[in-house]
Amino acid sequence: MKLDTSKASISVLGALNMDLIMNLDRPANPGETVVGDKFYTAPGGKGGNQAVAAARVSNSQSVKFLGLIGNDNYGTELKNYLENESIITSSLLTEKDLHSGIAIIFTTNEGENYVNAVYGANEKKDMTLVESFKKNIKSTKILITQNELDEEITRECMKVANNNNIPVILDPAPFRKDREIDYYQMADFITPNETEAELMTGVKINNKDDAKKAAKILISKGIKNCVITLGENGAFYMNQNDAKYFKPHKIREVKASVAAGDAFTGIMGASLAAGEELNNAINNAIIGSALSVTKYGAQESMPYFQEILEAKS
């Protein structure tokens, strides 16, 4: 069973990276060597992760990906992986003179992750992506994006969505100090984690009360809807008229939290595109993000909708 979504109804604009992942007790200090116990490569990038998260809970060919890769082996692997997940890649551009995005990720035995990225082709300002989005506008029911690509590309795609009454979910990661508040006001939903919410508001988030304070600041700045993800502590939602705390979904074992936030955003977006009520969409996302940390990898860790349904029962 999957969410009832139509072809190309979910547009995901964002980055693709090849993740080089090492499992360690802790990252090394300067001048120190720390020996890990596991190394593997996995397709990643917040945009790619969110696209796969949305695709695995949706009907086949429901997700269209807009992004950039280099003309290299990593780029070919990244594209093939999306296509194997039944994601439409006709708007994935290959930049001949640039390398594909790379992320070196250290994961600890406690499930924490430390991400070091070089975005490569993802950083190119190619407005062709905006034109590609416009061409698909009639079938699009939601736009999911992040702060990974050039700001003008993201702004223009959000503007097109706004002009066509298409909801926008913006994951404000990685945090960019140069993004003005009007940029975030273009989104219908933002989905920061505790760190991003703190950077946006100055409120250090240790619990749901702190999340409420941060959310209130964001809403006061004209942001329409805010969902602050709290990892193992659930999520906090707020808009001008409502505020609600969502409890976490408990799991037995954490293997890697590399893409839990991306699982949340992608699953929430797919749920809304399928016409799910907001509370259900957020609950689906909380369960899905919890399930993702029980597996290794980024895109590979994304759950299927049947797993979410089973976890609910």
Domains, in order of start, for the chain = 10-15+46-94+123-312 (3.40.1190.20)
Residues with Cβ within 8 Å of 202's Cβ and at least 6 positions away in sequence, in order, are 217
Active site members = 262
Burial 16-43 (b: 16+ CB within 10 A, else e): bbbbbbbbbeeeeeeeeeeebeeeeebb
Helix (H, G, I), strand (E, B) or coil at 145: strand
Mean pLDDT of all residues in 166-177: 96
d(CA 305, CA 225): 25
pLDDT of residue 166: 98
pLDDT of residue 42: 87
Measured CA to CA in angstroms, residue 239 lies from 188, 207, 212, 242, 262 at distances of 10, 19, 11, 5, 21
When pLDDT is cut at 50, 70 and 90, the band that residue 18 belongs to is very high
d(CA 290, CA 93): 32
d(CA 89, CA 67): 9
Neighbours of 307 (CB within 10 A): 17
Helix (H, G, I), strand (E, B) or coil at 241: coil
The mean of the pLDDT values for the chain is 94
pLDDT, tens digit, for every residue of 93-149? Answer: 999 999 999 989 888 887 777 888 899 999 999 999 999 999 999 999 999 999 999
Neighbours of 279 (CB within 10 A): 11
Q: Where are the beta strands (DSSP E) in the chain?
A: 10-13, 17-24, 38-44, 63-70, 88-95, 101-108, 113-118, 142-146, 168-171, 189-190, 225-229, 235-239, 243-246
Q: Which of 312, 310, 290, 311 lies closest to 302, judged by CA?
A: 290
* Whole-prediction pTM: 0.92
Residues with Cβ within 8 Å of 18's Cβ and at least 6 positions away in sequence, in order, are 41, 42, 43, 44, 74, 77, 78, 100, 101, 102, 103
When pLDDT is cut at 50, 70 and 90, the band that residue 256 belongs to is low
